[in-house]
A and B are shown apart, each in its own frame.
Chain A
Amino acid sequence: MWALRGLRNGVLTTRWPARPDDYAASTRGPATVLTPGGQASSQNGRPSLAELCPTGAISQDGQGTVSLDQGRCIQCGRCVAARPDLFGWQPGPGSAALSRTGLVVPPVAETPGRLAEVRSGLRARTRALRRSVHLRHVDAGSDGTEEWEILALTNPVYDIHRLGIFFTASPRHADVLLATGAGARGMTEPLRKTYDAMPHPKVVIAVGTDAAGGGLPGSSYAAAGGIGGIVPVDVWLPGSPPSPFSILYAVLLGLGRLPAQEGGLR
């Protein structure tokens, strides 16, 4: 009976990233500045731009240049609703970055070649992994949604096994660490131990805004404001929670396996 049910709807699996996927393109990333580098003056009677954001992701320098740190964006949409002239949603799954500062819009000036250096360093580390990659997930204080979205990767729509990517129970077999949550103090040690138990080469992905920048729980007696201070992070993925496609994007970005048309690397 189940075998027949399994054939019922034909192939449901996406072919992304090899082929475009309508749903992937329609998902919503973090908020972004529509014209990076543009200047905005606050208008009378309106709250200042920085006050719009409950997690302090928006700032304005002396010249009035607006910048938005997507690593702190919890996708509440308040800035987009209040100032649609300045802020919008970043479409599609490509919201991960290879450095924490890479999540800031407009980009922070970095020494030339640093990103290329990071990328080639990561590339050299992950080359040996080829097409058999094992993921280990650790929850360091998530709200529970990131686990759902990571686990969704195993459902027939995303089916990451088709890409040679698998989940593993043992950190000894893991190549990639997916860490979620704001870095709850109680998870500091278990997270570090899991990282230490993984063999080299290893890649760490901070999955979600809480992991990347602390999110709403932030830094307190109970949380460390993200996992960046606990383990060395290679890929930073904002989102509250990030969609399964954006998690898949982040994994492929960490492995250097994104095809050119998805290569909006930053």
Chain B
Amino acid sequence: MATGTGTILGSVPALWDELTRRVAAGCRFADLFGTAQHDGGLLLTAQLTGPAGLETWQALLPPGTVSYPALTPRLGAAFWYEREIRDMFGIMPEGHPRPQPLILATAGDPPRPGGGSQPAAAERVPEVLPSHVAGPGLFTIPHGPVRSGVVESIEYLVETPGEDIPHLNMRVFYKHRGVEKRFEGMTSADGVLLAERTEGIASVAHALAYCHALERLAGAEVPWAAGLIRVVHAELERLACHLDVIVRLADGAGLAVATARFGWHKEQVLRLVGQLCGSRFGRGVVIPGGVQGSPRIAPAELLATLTELDRSLGVDLRVLMGTASFLDRLRRTGPLAPQRAAEHGALGPIGRGSGSTDDGRAARPYDAYGSLSVRVASRRDGDAMARLEVRVEEIAQSFHLLRQAADELAGVAGGPVQVPCDPAGGRAVGWAEAPQGEVLYDVSVSGGRITRCRARTASFHNLVLMHEVFAGDILTDFPFIEASFGLSVAGVAR
């Protein structure tokens, strides 16, 4: 497994050659980001997921570089990553098909993560409404950033002749919070608090990926009981997120009772998490080196609650998956072909709904997952229905994992749940399978402080695919497609 200090190649074209060669050989493109160097240069880092785990490949851009040859024309998955590099470092990817602002749209100095100093606040650049399709009667519906309903801020620009959606544009920069820059200078103990808030609905998965990186750096071995408690919280988080998707899908179809029922199940999961640790989102549980403490309710009580929840939720899920008027809205809606999903390296339920069988819990196990039985859910249809089926199967799997973990926990009550973990320096990568897909953290520490923390969320990696799934779909399919993606804008814009 890579430690994060990957091979540095002589030039950017050499790095691109290597990446395209590795991807052609079956690796999945996972990340591309920059780190500002003290001499004014820029270190480009790419992560690939291969059969042997993560691979890190890098190249240095010398100080004063204003542009580099873009990777996107050769590897489409880098489309948003290179736009992010442009926003964060002010360096232009030459030959990029659309080098416009993505996550940051200001006229000010680029923030240059890794470079230490903070840029001044700058006003947002007034943008022109982009449009890509021309023809008689075509118009653009700007939908957002303030949209109907209680949702996160993002703008969808739907280009349409009235019913079909020949093209969709997204502007995600509205809620960029400067998270990666904010990590700089934090202690490793404070960093986990920010990791939890990078994509709040996946707090536990983010805290895990972040802590895995630090634990790899410090060589810390997390106690068995802590590994189990981590699994319990990670799976409860998966339940809550998947139920949230189901609530939104049912709401979109106007199934009032189903919306209420699944909303109630989700509330019960959040309350159970709150009972276990005090926070309804499992915050403060995961710390570098283990967990903060043992669950506040006994494993037997946890098991009893889970059994009851599994039973009442199971009946509702069976009814939902037999409601024809609901399923008709999902079948052949928002299709993502398995070949496209594989080219892009689509993550989480979106990837697994389109033929992928990659799940970090099984392929690159961490904490207690290696000792528990994890079965990967996968479908090949690629439509909103397939993504829902993957989630429904994952809900059943989560209960299975929760029962195994709670059983094991009963046997190790009272054991240690943390070891010291405060690395003074170095760089390492950590990962965790969030409900939205795999989260990657690349953390650099120097003198006990974070100098660069790259948070690659599944939401960022997957959302770009929304451009491609509207073939044949119409405006009323939009809510189903958006809900079936199940991503968090906070994780995209960071």
> A-side interface residues toward B, CB under 8 Å?
1-3, 5-6, 8-9, 12, 23, 27-28, 54, 74-77, 81, 89, 137-152, 154-157, 167, 169-171, 181-182, 184-191, 193-194, 215-218, 220-224, 240-241, 243
Q: Does B86 contact A (CB under 8 A)?
A: no
* Cα separation A76 to B173 with both chains bound (whole Å): 28
Residues of B within 8 A of A154 (CB): 263
Q: Considering the chains assembled together, what is the distance between the CA atoms of A63 and B181 in angstroms? A: 37
Of B130-138, B254-262, B368-376, the stretch lying at the interface with chain A is B254-262
Instruction: Assess whether B150 is in contact with A145, with CB atoms less than 8 Å apart.
Output: no
Please pick, from B174, B244, B279, B319, the residue contacting A1 in the complex, using a CB distance under 8 A: B319
Q: Name, among A75, A76, A150, A185, the residue most crowded by chain B CB atoms within 10 Å (CB to CB).
A: A185
Question: Looking at the complex, which one of B105, B121, B203, B278 makes contact with A220 (CB distance below 8 Å)?
Answer: B121
- Name which residue of chain B comes closest to A153, CB basis: B150
Query: Which B residues lie within 8 Å of A240 (CB)?
Result: 197, 283
Q: Which residues of B contact A144 (CB under 8 A)?
A: 152, 199-201, 488-491
CB distance from B36 to the nearest CB of A (A): 14
Instruction: Point out the residues of chain A lying under 8 angstroms from B274, CB to CB.
Output: 27-28
Report yes or no: B278 in contact with A28, Cβ–Cβ below 8 A: yes
> A75 contacts B177, CB within 8 Å?
no
Given A28-B278, A216-B193, verify A140-B316 contact (CB < 8 Å): no
Please judge, given known A-B contacts A5-B316, A144-B200, whether A151 and B150 are in contact too, CB under 8 Å: yes
Q: Which of B398-455 contact A (CB under 8 A)?
A: none
List B residues at the A interface (Cβ < 8 Å).
104-106, 108, 111, 118-124, 145-146, 148-153, 173-179, 181-182, 190, 193-194, 197-201, 203, 244, 255, 257-258, 260-261, 263-264, 266-267, 270-271, 274, 278-281, 283-284, 292, 312, 315-316, 319, 322-323, 488-491, 493
| A5 x B319 contact (CB < 8 A) | yes
Question: Complex Cα distance A148/B199, Å?
Answer: 12
Quote the shortest CB–CB distance from A215 to chain B (angstroms): 7
Question: Which B residue's beta carbon lies closest to that of A152?
Answer: B267
Q: Please, which residues of chain A bring their CB within 8 A of the CB of B270?
A: 148, 152
Taking a contact as CB atoms under 8 Å apart, the answer to whether A184 and B152 are in contact is: no
**Nearest CB of chain B from residue A196's CB, rounded to whole Å:** 12
Q: Is the CB of A152 within 8 A of B263?
A: yes
Interface contact A184-B323, CB-CB below 8 Å: no
What is the bound-complex CA distance between A9 and B268, given in angstroms?
Answer: 13
Asked whether, in the complex, the Cβ of B124 is within 8 Å of the Cβ of A76, the reply is no
- If A145-B203, A155-B260, A186-B124 touch, whether A222 touches B177 (CB-CB below 8 Å) is yes
- Residue from B124, B150, B278, B281 within 8 A of A241 (CB atoms): B281
Contact A75 B105 (CB under 8 A): no
Residues of A within 8 A of B108 (CB): 221
